[in-house]
Structure 1
């Protein structure tokens, strides 16, 4: 995935609101990249461009060297809210992508495989109201993974979970990424979450967002928050965000 000289703006009641300013970055196949920056700086807008949900005002977004101009099953977005259909079972929520593509009848095994991958094989017949918040988010991940995406776009997918469930899900997401081999692009406001999960952390400026820093996380998995290097990287990123004094 390549983002080349992308700028974007919104037309609000006749006024122009710049959101992204000449953003360029790449993600290699199988790489996990986290995006950090002030609230409202344009990170989620960038994800929408990568997913093909919007077109940039200037510049281009490429997947495998081809311009991204529309959504595609190879690029799947997981949002902060699981957005499950309450009247459909877990199995039928996960099967939505295959159903929409008209291939469910011959690819039913992919639904069971995705549920087993996120540890919910025993909950296939459950309904969303019977699930915890963490379980619902795992269903959303299974719904994404059933499409065998090459790029998984994660827009603060753990933001509404309690702190203990969030820590558990961070580890589970890393394990899923390692097993499935997709490229991951994560938006988060949590510096430790970014460092715990990603190969690289891209730090953005205030809106309109520019790339302020590209930090390589030179730590093997599994990672430990008490590691000395982890602390050094945390301080470095907080410095780029203007928050070094909070260390």
Structure 2
């Protein structure tokens, strides 16, 4: 079902998720509320508006994808949700509390894994615990995170010894070791080859379903958004507005060739103003 952006922005509650059960440990996930957020870069006549009264909600344990043109402001919105920047107008909250700064409960995974080359995989994954002074008491979580992403046999490897997909798994493990309640994914698979990207999509789903956190994903890939998410929010050109909300009314696991996904793909492309032909 596609819901007009105006209706979604003013809805009193997040829509029910039809036919797609939340992750098993959904209560571990954070509830995110973005209300009428606008954002500018710069001031005065030269200011550039990137977000225009964006409102959205993420339910605990829900997987939500943000889909839109490159440079429209999706990544800026992720930074506001992460607490890395403050919105020019509007409000962002987690579980009813205003987000004003970064917090270990919200972890961002970027397109580039940004692993430290002189550290082993284990050493890179340990960084979050080390920075918080928890390494001695919670070092067991490193092995748990490595097992979750399937890198337990590469714990002592260095980044140059990893493939692109393995490096991104290491970045995911570095996020997961902090036991986040919201995982923020900013085009994390954008630089992977197509086959590795498909495999990593399935891995992300498995990890999410085991851990139960909420997910907010930015992607330019229509098929990726529909395969992964409960809901896909379609953004306009800059300044970004939500022009449509697509409810992916299919259970997990999903079949990539499902006719319903093809129908929803056409809906998404129509809202993006793109040719629907292959």
Q: CA RMSD in A?
A: 1.1
Query: Which residue is 1:76 aligned to?
Result: 107
2:237 to 206, 210, 216: 206
Pick aligned residue for 2:262 from 231, 240, 245: 231
1:215 counterpart (246, 253, 258): 246
CA deviation vs aligned residue, 1:109-150 (integer Å, no higher than 9, x gap): 000000000000011111000000000000000000000000
Question: What corresponds to 2:222 in structure 1?
Answer: 191
The aligned residue for residue 96 of structure 2 is 65
Write out per-residue CA displacement over residues 23-71 of structure 1, whole angstroms, 9 at most, x where no aligned residue.
0000000000000011110000000000000000000000010010100
Give the Cα–Cα distance (whole angstroms) in 2 for the partners of residues 128 and 244 of structure 1.
40
Structure with bigger RCO (C-alpha 8 Å, 6+ apart): 2
The alignment status of 1:122 with 2:122, answered yes or no, reads no
Structure-to-structure mapping, 1:1-247, within 5 angstroms: 1-11=32-42, 15-246=46-277
Secondary structure, counterpart of 1:246 in structure 2: coil
Distance between the aligned counterparts of 2:134 and 2:70, measured in 1? 39
1:81-109 deviation per Cα after TM superposition (whole angstroms, max 9, x unaligned): 00000000000100000000001001010
Q: What TM-score do the two structures reach when normalised by structure 1?
A: 0.98
Rounded to whole Å, the distance in 1 between the matches of 2:277 and 2:262 is: 13
Q: SS at the partner of 1:33? A: strand
The alpha-carbon deviation at position 208 of structure 1 amounts to 0.3
Q: Match of 2:91, SS?
A: strand
Where does structure 1 differ by over 4 angstroms across 4 or more consecutive aligned residues? Answer: none
Aligned mates of 1:238, 1:135 — CA distance in 2:
31
Unaligned ranges ≥5, structure 1: none
TM-score computed with the length of structure 2 as normaliser? 0.87
CA spacing shift, 1:121–1:18, aligned 2, 3 Å? same
Q: Is the 8 A contact 2:266 2:276 kept in 1?
A: no
Q: Distance in 1 between matches of 2:259 and 2:224?
A: 16
Cα distance in structure 2, aligned partners of 1:13 and 1:116: 51
**Count of equivalent residues:** 247
SS across alignment from 1:152: strand
Higher mean C-alpha displacement, 214-223 vs 20-29: 214-223
Rounded to whole Å, the distance in 2 between the matches of 1:100 and 1:30 is 27
C-alpha deviation, 1:246, in angstroms = 3.1
